Amino acid sequence: MTVASRIAIDGPAASGKSTIGKMVAECLGYLYFDTGVMYRAVTWASLERGIPISDEVAVTRLAQELHIDVTRPTVADRRQYTVLVDGVDVTWEIRRPEVDAAVSPVSAYPGVRAALTAQQRRIGAAGRVVMVGRDIGTVVMPDADLKVYLDAAVAERARRRYCEIIARGEPATYEDVLRGMEERDAIDSSRATAPLCAAPDAVVLDTTRLSIEGVVQVVMRLVNQAQEK
């Protein structure tokens, strides 16, 4: 019996991959690894060191020098994982507004993506991981035991993100959220380095009309099927 030890979950923004990935990891007792935290870690480190985010060469060099680890939670403060940069816990620091505002260009730099892909593979190689992102099944773990690509109609994904923003008490309009999501989709799908797309052997799930619980049930069924092969 083959154990599905490395699970890749990809998809566009607000497709449900982070929520589903976390719940599946909890069901299995695996590490939940949202690869986006690594790009946030590089962004945070750049800001801390006074490196201009626009300086691609310097930011890339920093990404190559940093040692970033993602582990299961080490502190009971409702965190989903612990993020360490050169041994320093930055789990909450990488969620600061200034990091939010600067992470997009950092994640688009090819050199940064290459450096972090190597670190993501290192963590994935240990197994017992549910890795979530936009290029996991195609680039980071092309040999994952199970690949799932979550998708949903852009209007529904925009509605979900809009509800999240409103729930946090932040101002937003659905139209602005929808426009921003359409722009993000276009960038992610057309970039030269690791464009967003489903791996040829991924199971594609449309979550538009599915509940969170329903999607988790489908993914867990796929995990069980993978283990039976």
Query: Which residue type is seen at 149?
Result: Y
CB 162 within 8 A of CB 154: no
Domain boundary among 125, 157, 182: 125
Q: What is the mean pLDDT of residues 170-184?
A: 90
CA dist., res. 17 & res. 132, Å (int): 7
Is the pLDDT at 1 greater than 50? The verdict is no
Using left for φ > 0, alpha for ψ between -120 and 50, and beta otherwise, residue 16 falls in left
What residue ranges in the chain does DSSP mark as E strands? 6-10, 31-34, 68-71, 82-85, 88-89, 129-133, 146-151, 203-206
* High-pLDDT (> 90) share of the chain, %: 77
Q: By residue range, what is the domain housing residue 94? A: 36-125
Strand order across the beta sheet in which 88-89 lies: 68-71, 82-85, 88-89
- In this structure, the answer to whether residues 86 and 107 fall within a common structural domain is yes
Q: Nearest CA to 10 among 165, 127, 130?
A: 130
pLDDT per position as a tens digit, 129-171: 999 998 999 999 999 999 999 999 999 999 998 998 899 888 8
203 domain-assigned? yes
Is the pLDDT at 193 greater than 80? The verdict is no
Residue 95, C-beta contacts closer than 8 angstroms, at least 6 positions apart? 40
pLDDT at site 2: 55
- In this structure, the answer to whether residues 186 and 121 fall within a common structural domain is no
162 domain-assigned? yes
* Total domains, the chain: 2
- In this structure, the answer to whether residues 121 and 41 fall within a common structural domain is yes
Q: Nearest CA to 13 among 160, 191, 118?
A: 160
CA dist., res. 103 & res. 44, Å (int): 8
Higher-confidence residue: 194 or 76?
76
Global pTM? 0.88
pLDDT per position as a tens digit, 203-221: 999 999 999 999 999 999 9
- In this structure, the answer to whether residues 98 and 147 fall within a common structural domain is no
pLDDT per position as a tens digit, 84-137: 999 999 999 998 889 988 988 898 899 999 999 999 999 999 999 999 998 999
16 domain-assigned? yes
